[in-house]
Each structure stands twice: as C-alpha cells, then as structure tokens.
Structure 1
Amino acid sequence: MNALLEVRDLDVRYGARRVVDGVSFTVGAGEAVGLVGPSGCGKSTTALAVLGLLRPHSGSVRFSGVELTGLRARELRALRPRFQPVFQDAYGALSPRREVRHQIAEPLRVHGRWRAADGPARVDELLERVGLSPAHGRRLPHELSGGQCQRVSIARALATRPELLVLDEPTSALDPSLRAGILNLLMDLQDSLGVGFLLISHDHAAVHHVGDRILTMRDGRLVA
C-alpha cells in the first residue's frame, strides 16, 4: 500500500515541555489508522501538526510525497483540499447564523471550486452521502442534533473530495447510539469513496470498530 501520509520523528514542544516525542507512522491511501491514548498524551497535538496548523520543533510530515513542514501559507493552502479535518465540537465548528448548506459549500468557494450551475446539487449530494436530506441544508446548526451536526461537518470536509480525513475525537461528544451511527458512516465512506482516515480517540472500542491499524500513544510517544 502506498503511503499517503508519512510522519517521521515528529517532535512538538510547548516551551521546554516535549508534548510529542519522536512519533513516526504512515497512513496508506484508503487506509483507516486509529491513534488512541488517554487525554493529554499528545494525540491531538499530533493531529494539529499533521494538518499544518502547528509547526513542529523538528521532524517530517509528508503528504503524497510533499514535505508540509516549512511550506509557505500559499503552498499549504493549495494542498488543503486533499486532506481535511473533522473536529470534536461539531457545533463549535459551524457558524450559528448560517444555514448548513452554505457552510458545506464554503470549502468549494474558498478553493475556487464553486460553480453556480451544479454547486447546489453537489451540496445536496454531500448531505445525502452522510445520511441527511437536502432539507437539513436549510436549517441552522441549533436546529440539528449533535449527531446531525457532526454529519454536516463530515459533509463539509468531503466537499473538496479529499484523499485523507483527520478526525480528532469525532464521536466523544455524542451519546453511544449516535456514536455508532457516525462510526458506521465512516466505514461506509471508506468503502464507497476510498478516503483514508487518521482517527484520533481515547475510545479504544470506537477506533477498533473502524481502524485497519491501531497505534497507541502515551506521554507523547507511540508505545504500540
């Protein structure tokens, strides 16, 4: 399997404190890799470094053969459609005053991919892809459940047809019944779209449900 994401000797520090210590792993094209560990172990910091939202002290993050660390903002922005984040707080990730259909369309507009002729149909397709209806697109976030909001966040992440989703605790704020629905959705997306995942969670059961491989992190290091 070709490596889509390659992380080598990643080292992230906050002042003198080393939060991520020599972490190395790969995610293959279409592969779901779980990164599990207790709160404070450095897994979310690893996600931020992978996404280019935090600059590591040292180490390498390569996406599709391109070194991300040290890229200029414009160069990183050109690659962003190919790897997208999904965060834990779905409500917080959405604007409370905009209908969700406009928020799903936003990545297409930002990256110059919006076309008036077929853009609305693309948004409806994305809503249906994540188990919602086009009618949900005309609602505000507070009119949706937590699980529906997380589905909207996933739809927005899929808008640019990424090859990799980096999901940071995407089910931890949900009730158990809703968690199962999101995990099943992720498995379906992997099968139907071939998208790869880096799924970060403290919930071992959730990660084992979805992941092709499981990595365990503790005190900033991979231990298994």
Structure 2
Amino acid sequence: MSDDPLLDVRDLVVRYGPVTAVDGVSFSLAAGETLALNGPSGCGKSSTALAVLQLRRPDAGRVRFEGRELTSLPERELRSLRPRMQPVFQDPYGTLSPRHRIRDAIAEPLRVQGRWHPTDGPDRVAGLLDRVGLDPAYGDRRPHELSGGQCQRAGIARALASDPRLLVLDEPVSSLDPSVRAGVLNLLAGLQDDLGLGYLFICHDRAVVRHFADRVIEMREGRVTSP
C-alpha cells in the first residue's frame, strides 16, 4: 500500500437549499486502502460520495485525486479523469440498463472511451466476467435474468472495464442476502489485492465495516464524529 494519497478531501461542504448535508468533512485515502464512511441513513455519506465523484459539485472544500484538484476542473477535463474513479451503487439492477445484455453494458464504457476494438473487445468483456466470478455465458443475459449478487458482480465488472484506480462503493452489499454479501466482499478484497485499488466504502452496517475496512470514519448529521 502506498503512503501517497490517492484521494484527499478537505473541508467538504454539500448543501441542498437550506440543508447542509455535508459539513466540513476531511479525509485521505491511499492506493490499496479501504476507508469506510459509517453512520446512519441521512448522515451525509452518500452526498460525500457524490461530491468525491463530482457527480454533485460541492459548495465548498477541496477534492484532490491523484494530485489533481477536481472541484475547479471544467467538465471536459473531468471527463478524462472519470474512468479512473468509478462508482458501484447499492441497487445492482438500477446500475445496468434492463434493455441491454450484460456484455453490452460492460462494453459500453470501452465504447464511450474509444477503447473498444471488435477483434479483442468480446474477449475483454468475457475476461471481466470471469474476473468477477461469472461464467462469460452470462454476458448474453439481461439484468432481470440474474440474481442480485450476480447482477452486482456484473456491475463491478462494468466499473473495472475503465481500469479505475478508485472505486466508490455506496452500500454495495446492503441489499444482498448474508451468504451472497460475503462472496461479493471477498471478491472486492481479492480485486483490491490484485489491482491495488483504493476503496471509499459507504456502509451503515458496523459489522460489515469492521470486517472489510482498513480505517473507519464515523459520520453524524453531515460531520465526522471520529477519525
């Protein structure tokens, strides 16, 4: 694990009208590390994640990723960095279009980024499915034909297609059965070991956090209550 911050967040503020959802949150994350944001529903965890990804621009504060300040970048420059920081959301079925086959959903980031090649693209998609523990034949299915755990694995494969350095995992296992949850967490741990990924892990379940994270930040009412 590198000591250099992959992600550095300072004094982050996110407001929705008169409501301050995130109030002065600061933390850093190294490559190969899992940092968990833990706290009850409505405490600002997901708003923090959206601001880190610049899917919701913060009202104040700083977000540095791989040494670059994101909050001041115009969208066209952010677009070139987005492949390197990918989200994995709570609802696996909501991540993937119900109209598309799994193989097309995984290939989409490659097409958007201009990295799709007909000669090796299908093999790359098959390799990503295999990497997340799915038979490549599942690429012919649509999301509703997969279980929740299988669909979440497909969503992880889609995130990996961009060769990210950071995954922002927003309650990625909270909707899964306990036995399936353990398998997905083990998958994420193995991918981190193999690829050196940094994980910002959003979770309200303290037992899961204790098992999975290297460090934990507790949040309440938009603020960090313990480092």
For Structure 1 versus Structure 2, the TM-score category normalised by the shorter chain is over 0.9
1:180 aligned to which of 179, 182, 194: 182
Tell me if the contact between 1:68 and 1:76 (Cα under 8 Å) persists in the aligned partners.
yes
Q: CA deviation at 1:147?
A: 0.4
C-alpha contact (below 8 Å) 1:108/1:160 kept by paired residues: yes
Unaligned runs of 5+ in 1: none
1:6 match: secondary structure = strand
Per the alignment, in what secondary structure is the counterpart of residue 123 of structure 2?
helix
How far apart, CA to CA, are the structure 2 residues paired with 1:206 and 1:192?
A: 21
For 1:58, the equivalent position in structure 2 comes to 60
If the length of structure 1 is used for normalisation, what is the TM-score? 0.98
Question: What is the correspondence of 1:53-92 to structure 2 with a 5 Å cutoff?
Answer: 53-92=55-94
Q: Is the 8 A contact 1:186 1:210 kept in 2?
A: no
Partner residue of 1:141 out of 134, 143, 150: 143
Give the secondary-structure state (helix, strand or coil) at the position aligned to 1:223.
strand
Structure-2 residue corresponding to 1:209: 211
Corresponding position: 1:155 with 2:157? yes
- Report if the CA contact (8 A) 1:183-1:206 is conserved: no
1:111-160 superposed Cα distances (whole Å, 9 cap, x missing partner) = 11111111111101110111001111110111000000000000000001
Structure 1 window deviating more from structure 2 (39-48 vs 104-113): it is: 104-113
Give the equivalent residue in structure 2 for 1:97. 99
* Conservation of the 8 A alpha-carbon contact between 1:34 and 1:208: no
Which residue is equivalent to 2:225?
A: 223
**Aligned residue in 2 for 1:125:** 127
CA distance in 1, matches of 2:89, 2:32: 20
After TM superposition, the score normalised by the length of structure 2 is 0.97
Q: What fraction of aligned residue pairs are identical, expressed as a percent?
A: 66
5+ residue gaps in structure 2?
none
Q: CA RMSD in A?
A: 0.8
Q: Distance in 1 between matches of 2:125 and 2:210?
A: 31
Residues in 1 aligned to 2:155 and 2:72: alpha-carbon distance in whole angstroms = 28
AA at the equivalent of 2:203: S
On the 8 A contact 1:130/1:185 being kept in 2, the answer is: yes
TM alignment of 1:4-15, pairs within 5 A: 4-15=6-17
State the shift of 1:81 in Å: 1.0
1: distance between equivalents of 2:109 and 2:211? 29
CA distance in 1, matches of 2:153, 2:190: 13
- In the TM superposition, residue 29 of structure 1 has moved relative to its aligned partner by 1.0
How do residues 36-47 of structure 1 correspond to structure 2 at under 5 angstroms? 36-47=38-49
Equivalent residues, number: 224
Residue 70 of structure 1 deviates from its aligned partner by 2.5
Please identify runs of 4+ aligned residues in structure 1 that moved more than 2 A. Answer: none
Is the 1:20–1:220 contact (alpha carbons within 8 Å) kept by the matching residues of 2? yes
